[in-house]
Each structure stands twice: as structure tokens, then as C-alpha cells.
Structure 1
């Protein structure tokens, strides 16, 4: 399995359970590892033969910036679903980071894996 990755995608959104969090936009940071078979693209040198990470980033920026979830967990599930279904990615690992959410901690967030690994094992 090959992996196309996207790191430190910073998006402003409304997220959180506290009243003050519902009034401001906060930055979430996404890191994605997405399964892809890059052999055809490597052979053809054609963008249409690979996972277009710019298109993935644009779609996620559009979605996340308009969302207003309370939980990082909900945001992670919805982002994973978009990537898996809209971009035909068979497996992904996604980290959603809500920096500054806990005083004294550099980061806080979730890491999820969804889809089927190359050996056919379902990851959930």
C-alpha cells in the first residue's frame, strides 16, 4: 500500500462545547495518511491517475470551515467519511488536533483509522 499524505492543514472553524467556543472560530489542524496505489500515476505522470491531494485539501477546507461541531470526534468521523467516499480512498489515518484546548498541553485531539487495510482487514 502506498500512502499519500497531507500534513498541518490548518482550518478555522467553530468547534467546542462551551458557550465561549460557540462564539469564536478556532484553528483545527488535520494530518492525513491516505492509501493509494501510485504506480499508474508514476508510469503516466498524469494527475488524473492519482489521488489529487490539492482537491482533498480544498474540499476539507470548505467543509470544516463551514462546520459547527461540538466534538472533535464528530469532526474527525465526518472528515474521514468525505475522504473515503468522495475520493475513493480505501483506508486513511486522520489526526485532528485542537491546539490550545488544554492549558499546559501543546496539542490535544484524536487519531482515527477508517477503511480497509491492504490485506483486506477492516480498520475501525
Structure 2
């Protein structure tokens, strides 16, 4: 099977996340890059949105997840979010880069990159 990539790059959202007590009381910036494998020939045949990965719906799901969940670790957020996206959007493979820009003042960003399959 040929699998193409549908991606979302530089998705900004905010979350309450961190291990320190002060972090549990503030909203912090997060930036996501997402790559999802998908056979794009299927939706391209009919020009049919319902047969593709709807990146707007996926983006909204990521933003909502971050606004309604609270974790100490970005590793936990990434794992749980990937699991939810795989389930809800019937993904076969997802690669997620999650950056927390303000975590280390001397660095532009720190974060994690994970790849998960269904």
C-alpha cells in the first residue's frame, strides 16, 4: 500500500503543563508538528473530504485536548494525545513533535518527538 503524508506544522496552543507548582497554575505555549500516513489517492479520486484526513478537525482536537487535560510531563501529553488521535481519526501511523518554547530560557525550544502506529 502506498502511504503519503498529511501534515500539520507549527500548530500553536496553550496548556497547563509542568512539574513545578508554579507551572500548574499558568498556561504555557506548546507547538506541534504532526505527520500522519495516509493513502491520498482515495480522496483524490473523488475530491472527497470525507475520505481524507481532515487537518482542521485534527488541529481542533489537539487544541481541545491541550485545553482540557493537565499533565506534568510533555512525554505524557504526547503519548496520550497520539493514542487519542489514532483512535478518533483511525490513523495508522503518526509522528508528533511537541515543543515547549519557554521551558529552557537559553534554548529556542525543547520537546519530544515520537512515532506511534495503531
Q: TM-score range by the shorter chain?
A: over 0.9
Q: Which residues in structure 2 correspond to 1:34-73 (within 5 Å)?
A: 34-73=36-75
CA distance in 2, matches of 1:35, 1:83: 13
Aligned residue number for residue 121 of structure 1: none
Q: Deviations over 1:63-88 (max 9, x none)?
A: 11111100000000011101111101
Aligned residue number for residue 122 of structure 1: none
2:98 equivalent to 1:104: no
Where does structure 2 lack aligned partners over 5 or more consecutive residues?
none
CA distance in 2, matches of 1:109, 1:63: 18
Where does structure 1 lack aligned partners over 5 or more consecutive residues?
117-124
Kindly report the root-mean-square deviation, in angstroms, between the aligned alpha carbons of the 2 structures: 0.9
Output the TM-score relative to the length of structure 1. 0.90
How many residues align? The count is: 116
Larger % of strand: which? 2
Output the TM-score relative to the length of structure 2. 0.95
SS of the equivalent of 1:20 reads helix
- Runs ≥4 in structure 1, deviation > 6 angstroms? none
Aligned residue number for residue 119 of structure 1: none
* Aligned counterpart for 2:89 among listed residues 87, 90, 99: 87
CA distance in 1, matches of 2:94, 2:25: 32
